[in-house]
Amino acid sequence: MRASLSILAASVILAGSALAQTTTMPPAGSPPAGTRPASPGTGGPTGSSNPAVSTGGNAPSSVNASGTAALVAMTALEKGANSFTEGQVKSRLEGAGFSNVTDLAKDGDGIWRGKAMRDGKSVSVGFDYKGNIAAG
């Protein structure tokens, strides 16, 4: 009985290591390893479908295809763990056409809020974890 258990244990260990060494080959005609086709409409490699993740270029997610800022309503800003730093938020806001960005502080919902100038007017601004910008 003891010998049977030892043989069974050895078989399981050997089978597991054999499986761990198995490699899969890409289908014939697929791109070489390490390359990925461009995502439709982006020109960049395929990647995350998360809009907060930029897979091509350095444009923030709050800039639309025409290169202008895509502003959302203050109520559309989403709560969440915001990993943007104050400097990054200020840079994104300035890139979206705001100037004199001041009083930036992250609220309890993870949304950066502050004040800025746009078109000669003082506005309240918000910036969420996805890179959405709001002004009001």
Q: What is the pLDDT of residue 70?
A: 73
Residue found by looking up tokens 């791109």 in the block: 31
Q: What is the mean pLDDT of the chain?
A: 74
Asked whether residue 104 carries a pLDDT value surpassing 90, the answer given is yes
Residue 133: band (very low, low, confident or very high) from pLDDT cuts 50, 70, 90: very high
Residue type, 130: K
Pairing type for strands 121-127 and 133-135 reads: antiparallel
CB atoms within 10 A of CB 30: 10
Query: Domain ranges in the chain?
Result: 2-135
- pLDDT tens for residues 10-64? 665 655 555 555 555 656 665 555 555 555 554 545 544 555 554 444 444 455 5
Q: What is the pLDDT of residue 113?
A: 97
Q: What is the pTM of this model?
A: 0.53
**Residue 96 contacts by C-beta under 8 Å, 6 or more apart in sequence?**
60, 62, 63, 69, 71, 133
Highest-pLDDT range among 31-40, 64-73, 91-100: 91-100
Query: What phi-psi label fits residue 121: left (phi over 0), alpha (psi between -120 and 50 degrees) or beta?
Result: beta
